[in-house]
Chain A
Amino acid sequence: MVSKFFSYIVQGTAVTVEVTLIALPFGLMIGLIFALLYNYGGKWSTRLTGLYSLLMRGVPPIVLLFILYFFLSGQFINLTPFWAGSLALGIISSAYQMEILRGALQAVGGGQMTAARAIGMNRMQALRYIIIPQAIRLAIPPWSNEVSIVLKDSSLVYALGVPEILRRAQQLSATTQQPFLAFGAAALIYFALVFLANRGLDYLAQKTRLPAYNP
């Protein structure tokens, strides 16, 4: 009974992991571009990207999911519930990742840009070879926070009919009236996923640490 329980819920893990693996890189891509625009793009791109971040962090993820799936999808582009959910989570996450990267870019400091320009690099070269490599390293610890959040927020795609871990636990809870067992199993799986992700990122941070930043 308990093992059947567990195996039914575990089947939702693939969906949870897939949604996370789409939302996170998608968010990282937009987040990085917007963070660069915010810090180095001039007055108007600072304003616009700042507004984007404010809006996307202000909207509850579920609302964006509904807008993307029920209203936008089908009018301009046909998205499956899975893709609509993953992209919506990616958009929300991009705003948070933008803030993480913006902080990291600022932490690298303006002096390094000045120094890079002084030895003859142009702005793009300075960003690419000096600023970004350092900023990305600084961003890893706060970024692992975002990974756990996206992983757990991925349960929202159930509202569009994608059966992930939490929805499967709900179904079993309704059928068997053993909520503790059902949700306990779900909690255990989430914990294992977050644990693995965070440990992996800790390792990455160790491996890529720069000698100069040795605390």
Chain B
Amino acid sequence: MKRSFSWISCLLVLSFLLAACGGGGGSHLDKIKQAGVIKVGTSADYPPFEYVDENGHKTGFDIELMEEIGKQLGVKVEWVDMPFDSLIAGVQEGKIDASISAFNYTAERDKVVDFTDPYLTAEDAFLVADGFSGTISKPEDVANYKVGVQTGTTQDDWLTNVLKIPESNLFRYDRADQVAMDLKNGRIDVMMADYIPAKALAEKIGGLKIILKTVVSSGPMNIVIPDGDKELATAINDILKKLKDNGFIDNLATKYFTPQ
């Protein structure tokens, strides 16, 4: 019995030791600058926006952009890799300072977090396998097919709430690459995703093509920050403007979005 008591006290002591600073005054931005670190959440399974390269380093358009923003803020970026649908909760509950993960603005998300100015404009793509015989001439046509989508994305939102596709025709997946694999295997007919990663997936996997490119669900991409954090928004927006003006963002886009 003695043994169990020492275990309890060990755990208690450890959890108190681990309890991070917290408390104290000052704004969120002050705290970030004081710590010298901004904790940024991302879901590193979405090339070319955020992914892990062959050496195991996080890289991609969003990653490099955020690293640059961190540099200009004078802080180090600490990456926290989470599933896409945990990210908003992470920002909302203050577990991470911000999140960059190809987020589009939606009114639903805006209720619980804030968005910075857009850094890139996204389009939607509908992907099919090469042998696809149906017709999709406008976005609404997909309602007649089995459509795959990544859970929690703006495309998921559009299919569910705007198009109101029958549940039996909607297939939700954790990650975009799983949707593409199932499309190739013929379990679904159409995949809906952001245009740039969809194109990258089609090239990488092969046997897939983009049948329609449009803008229905997506649009500008923004960095997600805590609700009402005006100071952080201003700081990041100023930097984003600078990076747009000096061509940094254009160069990044050329680097990551031009097919090799």
Contacts and interface: CB of A to CB of B under 8 A. Distances in A.
Interface stretch (B76-84, B158-166, B232-240): B76-84
Given A29-B7, A78-B20, A161 B204 contact: no
Contacts of B175: 170, 174
A70 B93 contact: yes
7 contacts: A74-B93, A83-B14, A173-B177, A174-B177, A175-B47, A177-B205, A179-B181
A81 interface: yes
B15 A77 contact: yes
Given A25-B7, A177-B177, 9 more contacts: A26-B11, A74-B93, A79-B18, A80-B20, A163-B81, A167-B81, A174-B45, A174-B52, A175-B51
A8 interface: yes
B86 interface: yes
A174 B11 CA distance: 37
Contacts of B86: 159-161
Contacts of A70: 89-90, 93, 95
A4 interface: yes
B226 to A, nearest CB: 13
A173 B175 CA distance: 10
Interface string A124-145: 0000100000000000000000
Contacts of B1: 128
A26 to B, nearest CB: 7
B148 interface: no
Given A32-B4, A70-B95, A175 B83 contact: no
A33 interface: yes
Interface of A: 1, 4, 8, 11, 25-26, 29, 32-33, 66, 69-71, 74, 77-81, 83, 87, 128, 158-161, 163, 167-168, 170-177, 179
Contacts of B201: 177
B81 A77 contact: no
Does more than half of chain A's interface fall in helix, strand or loop, or is it mixed? Answer: helix
A8 B45 CA distance: 15
A78 B18 contact: yes
A176 B200 CA distance: 11
B107 interface: no
Top 4 A-B pairs ranked by shortest CB distance? Answer: A174-B45, A78-B19, A171-B52, A161-B82
Interface in B85-122: 86, 89-90, 93-96
A146 to B, nearest CB: 18
Contact of A4 (B16, B19, B54, B90): B54
Contacts of A163: 81
Contact of B18 (A80, A167, A172, A179): A80
Contacts of A177: 177, 181, 201, 204-205
Nearest to B96: A161
B54 to A, nearest CB: 6
B35 interface: no
A69 B81 CA distance: 15
Nearest to A66: B89
B22 interface: yes
Contacts of A32: 4
A9 to B, nearest CB: 9
B15 A79 contact: yes
B115 to A, nearest CB: 21
Nearest to B201: A177
Nearest to A1: B54
Contacts of B18: 78-80, 83
Nearest to A32: B4
Nearest to A171: B52
Given A4-B54, A83-B15, A177-B205, A69 B7 contact: no
A25 B14 CA distance: 15
A143 to B, nearest CB: 16
Nearest to A158: B83
Contacts of A66: 89
A166 to B, nearest CB: 11
Which one of B14, B47, B96 has the greatest number of beta carbons of chain A within 10 Å? Answer: B47
Contacts of B82: 158-161
B128 interface: no
Contacts of A175: 45, 47, 51-54
B56 interface: yes
